[in-house]
Amino acid sequence: MPNVLTISALTIATHDMPRSVRFYTALGFEINYGGTNAAFTSFSVGAQYLNVIAEPDNRRWSWWGRVIFHVDDVDAFYANAVARGLEPEAPPRDAEWGARYFHIVDPDGHELSFAVPLRRPA
């Protein structure tokens, strides 16, 4: 049986592409394709991609889960988000499962978590 090695891309929906692009670029994501006037925008996330697709207003969604991104410095990433006017749910904190993280919700209600694994003693 072949193994799944990685996620290539995750695609989420928006009703307002310009607002979504402003949010993700404020977080520091780099546009790979598309932009504020596109129906589809792809952001580089390391070697993977976060895609945003525009949907009509009558298309609704409810809570679907959370995307977790590993970053190299979660406290600096948090400080950058706040400095750019974004509003994370709470400051970074250490979790019992071995990560330091914070959550933020994008303008369309998609939950994002930015985390760094904590080193465990040997």
Distance CA 38, CA 53 (A): 9
Please tell me the predicted confidence (pLDDT) of residue 64. Answer: 77
Residue 82's domain comprises: 9-56+66-117
Q: What is the CATH number of the domain that holds 72?
A: 3.10.180.10
pLDDT at 49: 93
pLDDT, one tens digit for every residue, the chain (122 residues): 756 667 889 999 999 999 999 999 999 999 999 999 999 999 999 999 999 999 988 888 777 778 989 899 999 999 999 999 999 999 999 998 888 999 999 999 999 999 998 875 55
Say if 86 falls within a structural domain. yes
Residue 29, domain member (yes or no):
yes
What is the number of structural domains in the chain?
Answer: 1
User: Which residue shows structure tokens 């760094």?
Assistant: 116
- HEC assignment per residue over the chain: CCCCCCCCEEEEEECCHHHHHHHHHHCCCEEEECCCCCCEEEEEECCEEEEEEECCCCCCCCCCCEEEEECCCHHHHHHHHHHCCCCCCCCCEECCCCEEEEEEECCCCCEEEEEEECCCCC
Residue 87 lies in a domain: yes
The answer to whether position 40 is within a domain reads yes
What is the structure's pLDDT at 73?
Answer: 92
In a domain, 95, yes or no: yes
Residue 4 in any domain: the answer is no
pLDDT, position 101:
94
